[in-house]
Amino acid sequence: MSQLIINGKLFVAFICLFILASCSNYGTKVTFPDHKGEVYYKGDGVTEADAKAVGKFLESQQFFLKDDKKRSVQISKDSGRVKARFVVDEKALATIPNVDESFALMGALMSKEVFNNTPVDVVFTDEFFKDIKTIPYKAGALAAVNVREEINQMQKKEYNKNTLYYTKDIPNEEADTISAYLVKNGFFTKDGNNDLIVAKNPGNGFHVSFLIKASFANEEGLQKADNFGKEMKRDLFANVPLEFEVLNENLESVKTFNY
* pLDDT on residue 29: 96
| 8/60 Cα distance (integer angstroms) | 9
| Backbone angle region of 36, left / alpha / beta, with phi > 0 → left and psi within -120 to 50 → alpha | alpha
Task: Specify the pTM.
Answer: 0.64
Q: Percentage of the chain surpassing pLDDT 70?
A: 93
* pLDDT on residue 212: 85
Q: Cα dihedral sign for 121, 127, 131, 135?
A: negative
DSSP characters over 116-138: TT--EEEEEE-TT--EEEEE---
Contact 185, 231 (CB under 8 A): yes
Q: Is the pLDDT of residue 66 over 70?
A: yes
145: enclosing H helix or E strand? helix 139-152
What are the pLDDT digits (tens) for 12-36?
555 555 678 887 799 999 999 999 9
Residues 6 or more apart in contact with residue 30 via CB below 8 angstroms: 38, 39, 40, 41, 48, 51, 52, 55
* Helices 172-184 and 219-236: angle between axes, nearest 10 degrees: 130
Q: Cα torsion for 126, 76, 100, 70, to the nearest 10°?
A: 50
DSSP 21: P
Q: Is the pLDDT of residue 152 over 70?
A: yes
What are the pLDDT digits (tens) for 168-222?
999 999 999 999 999 999 999 888 788 999 999 988 899 999 888 878 889 999 9
More confident residue, 89 or 26: 26
Q: Is the pLDDT of residue 6 over 60?
A: no
* pLDDT on residue 72: 94
Q: Is the pLDDT of residue 4 over 50?
A: no
For all residues of the chain together, what is the average pLDDT?
A: 88
Q: Is the pLDDT of residue 93 over 90?
A: no
Q: Cα dihedral sign for 145, 149, 152, 156?
A: negative
Angle at 142 between CA 140 and CA 147, to 5 degrees: 95
* pLDDT on residue 91: 84
Angle at 111 between CA 105 and CA 113, to 5 degrees: 100
Q: Percentage of the chain surpassing pLDDT 90?
A: 60
DSSP characters over 197-255: EEEE-SSSSEEEEEE--GGG-SHHHHHHHHHHHHHHHHHH-TTS-EEEEEE-TTS-EEE
More confident residue, 212 or 47: 47
Q: How many CA atoms lie within 13 A of 84 on its CB side?
A: 28
What are the pLDDT digits (tens) for 105-143?
889 889 999 999 999 999 999 999 999 999 999 877 777
* pLDDT on residue 226: 95
* pLDDT on residue 17: 56
